[in-house]
Amino acid sequence: MRWTSVCLLILFTLAGGCATTAPWPDPERSADLATDLENAIELRLDGEAVDVGVSIEDRLSMAEAVRRSLRHDPSIQITLARVRAAAADSHQARLLPNPIVSVVLRWPESGGSPTVEAGLAAELLSLLRKPGEIDAADKRLQAASARVLISVLDVVAETQRRFVEVQSLDALLPVLEQRARLLDRLVKLARQRLDAGEGTRLDLTTLQAQRVDLDVVITERQIDNRTARLALARLIGEPSATADWTLDPWRLPDIPMAGESAWVTAALKQRPEVQATIWQIEALGADVRLAQWALLEPLEVGVEAERDAGEWSIGSGATVPLPLFDWGQAKREMAEAAVLESLHELTQTRRTVVEEVRTAHLAHIRLLDAYRKANDQLIPLLEQRLKQAESAFRAGQSDVTPLILAEQDLQAGHARLIELERRTAESLIDLYRAVGGPARTPGVAEHPASAPTQLTNKEEP
């Protein structure tokens, strides 16, 4: 008999020292902390229908849109399933290899009692590699958990962007329609002046072209609005919905803004992309240590027992490779190259994070300043101009043309303000995404996921 295995003492020692289950990294808790939402995500054991079938009231808030997106987005479920697979790999790494039982009977040609050989075999090298395999599997489990948070933050940012886009277009379309009515008045006035011999054909043609161009712009914005609503419906798990909800109005958030360096420091510490790469490097480092055992592949140690002519004989044996050609150098080089690749990826990721934070921080500060100037200075000046034009018209000092032009400029100013509000909201969303989540911003105690959705230039009653 030939029995290849580790001695029982080593077998039982390793069996007692190996945990039966891997530590759970709890990506659900990480998502709650990053989004400031309770029970933000959970793994679904069955695929969802195309439409989840959960009715929505006439009014949809940003917080509700984010919550629904997190619970029904397939990309999050995919990453959660991968965490479960990584947990299974980690558990598998903790399991000892099954022993192999072999029985051989040999009958001599001359007759007589058969020779019996029995074996119970197990792989020694697998047991020696077990601690390193467990370490590598646990690190990959942590990396998979970090990738869940990447998907969560992407879904939150995309939902917020779509919500803000719909809000902006909902506010912009009435302004454009008001401008269209003003242009109609100007076209009518230009035609009357032309008929009276006071105007020119060029003035009328110019205004008519502006009116047609505005119709094209209104049509484009209506298409954009409908497209954004359909995208938002998909994100919340209702792609077939009518998507005619009324969205909450905008409100400019009053958030104390920390300095750029504080945001960069927080992002480098909290961004899941950085954390996932670090865990991957540690897992590859464990692979490098495991590659050192390649010299001993395959390694067999065991006991041989044989029964012949009614008597048993037993003895120990070992099978050790003779490393003349392959002493594991290629596997070690491959593992070390993988570590080197990930180290450079980490540098690239960190630099990208710094760039994203600085870009978003700069954009938000400047856009916020531009919004305040437009809201506090431009709009009041345009309103003052309109009042002056109206007073001059009533006093008989001018015709209606300056008054209509003042109204048109005021509507254009409101359209500009709405655009600035949208860009300011999007820059804040980008800043939250760059730092690692709306609940992880520096210098502020709490930032709910709905914070950037409440941007408006109008006070709620």
Q: Where are the chain's structural domains? A: 3-452
Nearest alpha carbon to residue 138 among 40, 18, 10: 18
Q: Which ranges constitute the DSSP H helices of 196-271? A: 201-235, 260-270
* Mean pLDDT for all residues in the chain: 82
Residues 239-269: b if buried by 16+ CB within 10 A, e if exposed? eebebebebbebbbbeeebbeeebbbebbbe
The reported pLDDT for the residue numbered 317 is 61
Q: Please state which CATH class domain 3-452 belongs to.
A: mainly alpha
The model's pTM: 0.82
Q: What's the rounded Cα separation, in Å, for the pair 413 and 99? A: 80
Residues 275-286: b if buried by 16+ CB within 10 A, e if exposed? bbbbbbbbbbbb
Q: What's the rounded Cα separation, in Å, for the pair 136 and 126? A: 14
Bridge partners, 119 (sequence order): 102
Nearest alpha carbon to residue 268 among 347, 157, 156: 347
The reported pLDDT for the residue numbered 452 is 42
> Which tokens sit at 134?
């467990």
The reported pLDDT for the residue numbered 365 is 93
Residues 252-267 pLDDT 10s: 776 777 889 999 999 9
Give the least confident one: 67-76, 301-310, 451-460: 451-460
> Which tokens sit at 204?
């009328």
Residue 188, amino acid: K
The reported pLDDT for the residue numbered 322 is 67
Helix (H), strand (E) at residue 140: helix 124-195
Residues 215-252 pLDDT 10s: 999 999 999 999 999 999 999 999 988 889 999 877 77
When pLDDT is cut at 50, 70 and 90, the band that residue 319 belongs to is: low
**CB neighbours of 305 closer than 8 A, spacing ≥ 6?**
1, 3, 117, 118, 119, 312, 313, 314, 315
Q: What's the rounded Cα separation, in Å, for the pair 312 and 115? A: 10
The reported pLDDT for the residue numbered 10 is 46
pLDDT surpasses 90 at 392? no
Residues 67-93 pLDDT 10s: 999 999 999 999 999 999 999 999 988
Neighbours of 119 (CB within 10 A): 19
Residues 88-107 pLDDT 10s: 999 988 888 777 677 777 77
The reported pLDDT for the residue numbered 296 is 64
Neighbours of 44 (CB within 10 A): 14
Angle, helix 124-195 to helix 401-435, in steps of 10 degrees: 180
Q: What's the rounded Cα separation, in Å, for the pair 424 and 430? A: 10
Q: Are 293 and 167 in contact (CB under 8 A)?
A: no
Taking the CA atoms of residue 26, residue 29, residue 35 and residue 39 in that order, the dihedral angle to the nearest 10 degrees is 110
> Which tokens sit at 306?
């044989």
The reported pLDDT for the residue numbered 4 is 40
Q: What's the rounded Cα separation, in Å, for the pair 136 and 159? A: 35
Q: Which ranges constitute the DSSP H helices of 2-123? A: 8-17, 27-35, 62-72, 74-94
Residues 110-137 pLDDT 10s: 666 677 666 656 666 677 778 888 999 9
Q: Are 263 and 438 in contact (CB under 8 A)?
A: no
| Chain center to CA of 460 | 32
Express as a percent the part of the chain with pLDDT over 70: 79
Nearest alpha carbon to residue 60 among 458, 450, 460, 452: 450
Arithmetic mean of pLDDT, 455-461: 37
Please state whether beta strands 246-247 and 300-308 pair in parallel, antiparallel, or not at all (unpaired). Answer: unpaired
- Is 38 exposed, middle or buried, given 0-12, 13-18 or 19+ CB atoms closer than 10 A? exposed
The reported pLDDT for the residue numbered 401 is 79
